[in-house]
Structure 1
């Protein structure tokens, strides 16, 4: 299981989910798994950019790392062999600092990549209407 938080961005139309931060509840990422499945369930815990620990090592998950779950349409997967291959390439770059897999505390995924993989519009479903103040937002908005 994972703890999910979402970083929202603002524009003239309202507030939109931009990045999902995925942290394992156990505190450790299971690097031996072939695919880690993440359950999408709203409302999401809101996270500001200032709340992210500057010293925590996170890894961006790109669209090509994501897979659909045929059995569970409300889940998406992170295909770990592809992630590890990309990490090995990063480690070979000259100015990349040394790190271990166990040092990575969370994943960060663009919400638009999740939308594409899951063939849905998270931005539309989970955006806050610009005409509602924060105090007016209720669970029907998520």
Structure 2
């Protein structure tokens, strides 16, 4: 199971989750399956945005990469799209440390509030 962290920042004086960061460096991802499924479960252990490792090989997962599933609180990531972008930029998929997802994109796609 892929571990993740939820990072927050302050918006109008209130903690607001901004990123879900999936640690993919220490996981075996089967890129041949073309889809990676992730289960998210609240409540989240929130981490301040200042703790986010900007020096890691972070790959943004776009809203177009996100896939709905039939399971509650589970979403998919289209690995074909991600791998295509990595190839365009000359990045080997084995070099990736984290997938970074905007919480707003995930909320829009899943139609719930994290």
TM-score for the superposition, normalised by structure 1: 0.71
Residue 111 of structure 2: which of 119, 124, 129 is its match? 119
- In structure 2, the partner of 1:85 is 84
How far, CA to CA, are the matches of 2:54 and 2:28 in structure 1?
Answer: 19
**What are structure 2's unaligned runs of at least 5 residues?**
none
- 1:5-20 correspondence runs (5 A): 5-20=5-20
The runs of 5 or more residues in structure 1 that have no matched partner are: 92-98, 123-142
Superposed CA RMSD in Å reads 1.8
Q: Deviations over 1:23-74 (max 9, x none)?
A: 14x813512331111111012222223323344211110000000111x121
In structure 2, the residue matched to 1:76 is 75
The 1-side partners of 2:42 and 2:14 are apart by: 18
Report the equivalent of 1:39.
39
Matched, 1:102 2:94: yes
Q: Per the alignment, do residues 119 and 54 of structure 1 end up closer, same or farther by CA in structure 2, a change over 3 Å counting?
A: closer
In 2: Cα distance, 1:29 partner to 1:113 partner: 25
Q: Which has the larger radius of gyration?
A: 1
Q: What secondary structure is seen at the aligned counterpart in 2 of 1:37?
A: strand
